Amino acid sequence: MKDIVIIGCGITGSLMAYELSKYQLDVAVLEKNNDVALESTGANSAIVHSGHDPKPNTLKARFNLEGNRMFPDLCKELQVDYQQIGAFVVSTSQEESLTLDRLEQQAKERRIPYARLNREDILAEEPHIGDGVTEALSLPTTGIITPWKVTIAAMEEAMENGVALYLNHEVKGIKHIKDGYRIFTIYESFDAKMVINAAGVYADTIAGYLEDVAYQITPRRGEYYILGKLTEPIVNHIIYPVPSSRGKGVLVVPTIHGNVLLGPNSEPISDKEDVSTTDALNEVKKNVIKTVKDIPFQKIIRTFSGLRPTGNTGDFVIEEDENHSNFIHVSCIESPGLTASPAIAKYIKDTFVAQKFQLIKKESYQKRRPDIVCAHLSHKERNQLIQKDSRFGKIICRCEQISEGEIIDVIHRYAGATTIDGVKKRCRPGMGGCQGGFCSPEVLAILARELHKDKQSIEYKGKHTEILPAKAKEAL
Ligand SMILES: Cc1cc2nc3c(=O)[nH]c(=O)nc-3n(C[C@H](O)[C@H](O)[C@H](O)COP(=O)(O)OP(=O)(O)OC[C@H]3O[C@@H](n4cnc5c(N)ncnc54)[C@H](O)[C@@H]3O)c2cc1C
């Protein structure tokens, strides 16, 4: 019997696994997809919010603030990027300035660093700010991350330290057994003393396997444009409009790698799998130009959408089930869920896990191996690497300058890539201007060779997304 089974490997599941891997516990993570971080964690604004926005006395407010303070050290520990670029919440009317007053008051009460800026101050830092913008609340502790990199690194380190990850293991049922639970997946069943439900938009379905649940989740879809890398930045900070009852509004967000996200909108939908992009993106364009002008829309390289796991409770649900001891809900984790995730993981460990198990630190704890990023190396370092292994000299992705050696490295790590999207998320081939037009066939061939698989069985992203349906010449 496992000590703990975590259902779901988004950012909350992986950070709990990472936190628990430091202790002498037998932990498994069950994930329905063929990679980690493919759901909400894979499609969002990637912001570590300062904590100014959530309603007072909510779990969102508490864990947002705590998570924001934890992120810089967490990213250092996991050796992934974090940039504290700061944010401006901008106002375009007197009425909106009243909302800024409220946010300023909340920032003050929560001891979040802030400053109120007039139009002149804003223009000095953001020359492309919209003509209608009158003032802003500056929140310098706002940061950006690459959410799937945090998840992959956390899971890699957790696995280095004994946590087991079962991909393609969709949970289909749960029942009580003596001293715990039996969790049924499409392949096999797992017995565990404690279950943590971190299944994103499906957390209500998972909870429903045991009883009628007290919460329902309705996904709220958010759609985005991505701009390719610009020679001159269009913004230096994250630009938020003032929030409304529908959320934080349409943002302009620089990414870690020099792209810009425009979005999201907010649309409740019924299908928990529907991540299509629609003509609602026109609304994104219309709204975004109110806060930032001169946006080079001709530089759009891609659109995408993500689903927020919005519960009917108005807040995160993070608690032990009332009727089922050691069944822990980590549910309704919509925004600011990324920001809150390290604080949630620590709270789960300190509160529920520490109550049930004796927490003894592992004596030998292994750090994950740092990523090999040739673009970060000097000429000398790179030449040394190529002399040891010539595959680091063979460029596969011309846009992002990614070598074959880097691709092979991310395939053979713990929680390694098995799909084209998995390679793209880990080391960036396909993230550039051509969006994989040139390098995808080569990445596919490398995956097939390294994983000893047929090329036809290599998937793009998610299950049943094979690119090559048949061997064309043989068919002829
Ligand atoms: C448009 C948008 C913008 C956002 N922007 C921000 C932001 O800027 N900052 C911020 O802090 N937050 C933001 N968020 C919120 C944030 O993305 C989420 O709160 C966070 O990613 C939730 O992580 P999670 O691990 O709980 O859920 P998920 O990432 O959804 O992970 C749940 C996992 O459970 C798995 N699963 C589901 N059912 C089963 C099953 N039956 N068996 C096994 N596995 C299963 C799924 O496949 C998935 O991998 C945004 C969200 C969206 C959609």
Label residue 476 by pLDDT band (50, 70, 90).
low
Q: Whose CA is nearest to atom 41 of ligand 1?
A: 171
* Residue 255 clears pLDDT 90, i.e. is over it: yes
How distant, in Å, are the alpha carbons of 166, 175, 369 from that of 189? 11, 11, 32
Q: Is 238 in the pocket of ligand 1 (CB under 6 A)?
A: no
Closest ligand 1 atom number to CA of residue 308? 53
- Nearest CA-CA partner of 423 in 345, 350, 371, 378: 371
Distance 330 CA to ligand 1 centre (A): 11
Q: Which residues contact 210 (CB under 8 A, 6 or more apart)?
A: 174, 175, 176, 321, 324, 327
Q: Which residues contact 116 (CB under 8 A, 6 or more apart)?
A: 100, 104, 135, 136, 137, 138
CB 315 within 8 A of CB 332: yes
Q: Is 353 in the pocket of ligand 1 (CB under 6 A)?
A: no
Check the CA dihedral 68-72-76-81 and report its sign: positive
Closest ligand 1 atom number to CA of residue 39? 30
**Helix-strand-coil split of the chain, %, nearest 5:** 35, 25, 40
Closest ligand 1 atom number to CA of residue 42? 29
Closest ligand 1 atom number to CA of residue 151? 25
Q: Is 307 in the pocket of ligand 1 (CB under 6 A)?
A: yes
Distance CA 263, CA 277 (A): 12
Predicted local confidence at residue 169, as pLDDT: 98
How distant, in Å, are the alpha carbons of 372, 426, 453 from that of 309? 34, 25, 35
Closest ligand 1 atom number to CA of residue 14? 25
How distant, in Å, are the alpha carbons of 35, 153, 418, 457 from that of 425? 10, 12, 11, 20
Tokens of 26: 């037998």
Q: Is 200 in the pocket of ligand 1 (CB under 6 A)?
A: yes
Q: Which CATH architecture has domain 374-475?
A: Orthogonal Bundle (1.10)
Tokens 């649900």, located at residue: 317
How is 167-213 classified by DSSP, letter by letter?
TT--EEEEEEETTEEEEEESS-EEEEEEEEE--GGGHHHHHHTTS--
Tens of pLDDT along 144-189?
A: 999 999 999 999 999 999 999 999 999 999 999 999 999 999 999 9
Peptide bond into 56 cis (omega under 30): no
Tokens 């009243």, located at residue: 98
Burial 171-204 (b: 16+ CB within 10 A, else e): beebeeeeebbbbebeeeebebbbbbbbbbbbbb
Distance 345 CA to ligand 1 centre (A): 14
Predicted local confidence at residue 132, as pLDDT: 96
Q: Is 329 a catalytic residue?
A: no
Predicted local confidence at residue 475, as pLDDT: 63
Helix (H, G, I), strand (E, B) or coil at 421: helix
Residue of 224, 335, 463 to mutate, ligand 1, most atoms within 8 A of C-beta? 335
Closest ligand 1 atom number to CA of residue 334? 19
Residue of 29, 274, 338, 419 to mutate, ligand 1, most atoms within 8 A of C-beta? 338
Tokens of 393: 């000299």
Residue of 18, 44, 334 to mutate, ligand 1, most atoms within 8 A of C-beta? 44
Specify the pTM.
0.97
Tens of pLDDT along 458-469?
A: 999 988 999 998
CB 298 within 8 A of CB 227: no
Distance 38 CA to ligand 1 centre (A): 8
Q: Whose CA is nearest to atom 33 of ligand 1?
A: 8
Distance CA 474, CA 409 (A): 32
* Residue 18 clears pLDDT 80, i.e. is over it: yes
Q: Is 31 in the pocket of ligand 1 (CB under 6 A)?
A: yes
Q: What percent of the chain has pLDDT over 90?
A: 93
Tokens of 419: 């799909």
Tens of pLDDT along 60-93?
A: 999 999 999 999 999 999 999 999 999 999 999 9
Q: Is 148 in the pocket of ligand 1 (CB under 6 A)?
A: no
Tokens 């943590």, located at residue: 196
Burial 215-232 (b: 16+ CB within 10 A, else e): eebbbbbbbbbbbbbeee
Domain ranges of the chain: 2-41+147-216+313-356, 87-140+218-309, 374-475
Predicted local confidence at residue 213, as pLDDT: 79
Tens of pLDDT along 359-411?
A: 999 999 999 999 999 999 999 999 999 999 999 999 999 999 999 999 999 99
Q: Is 327 in the pocket of ligand 1 (CB under 6 A)?
A: no
Distance 298 CA to ligand 1 centre (A): 30
Distance 116 CA to ligand 1 centre (A): 33
CB 14 within 8 A of CB 155: yes
Helix (H, G, I), strand (E, B) or coil at 40: helix
Helix (H, G, I), strand (E, B) or coil at 408: helix
Distance 402 CA to ligand 1 centre (A): 28
Predicted local confidence at residue 291, as pLDDT: 97
Q: Is 196 in the pocket of ligand 1 (CB under 6 A)?
A: no
Closest ligand 1 atom number to CA of residue 253? 8
Distance CA 338, CA 345 (A): 11
Q: Is 2 in the pocket of ligand 1 (CB under 6 A)?
A: no
Secondary structure element (H or E) that encloses residue 153, with its range: helix 147-160
- DSSP-assigned letter for residue 159: H
CB 80 within 8 A of CB 153: yes
Residue of 39, 66, 187, 217 to mutate, ligand 1, most atoms within 8 A of C-beta? 39
Helix (H, G, I), strand (E, B) or coil at 89: strand
Distance 37 CA to ligand 1 centre (A): 8
Helix (H, G, I), strand (E, B) or coil at 435: coil
> In the CATH scheme, what is the code of domain 87-140+218-309?
3.30.9.10
Distance 233 CA to ligand 1 centre (A): 29
How distant, in Å, are the alpha carbons of 254, 300, 427 from that of 446? 31, 29, 14
Distance CA 235, CA 127 (A): 8
Distance CA 304, CA 261 (A): 10
Helix (H, G, I), strand (E, B) or coil at 337: helix
> In the CATH scheme, what is the code of domain 2-41+147-216+313-356?
3.50.50.60
Written as one letter, the residue type at 37 is A
Distance 334 CA to ligand 1 centre (A): 7
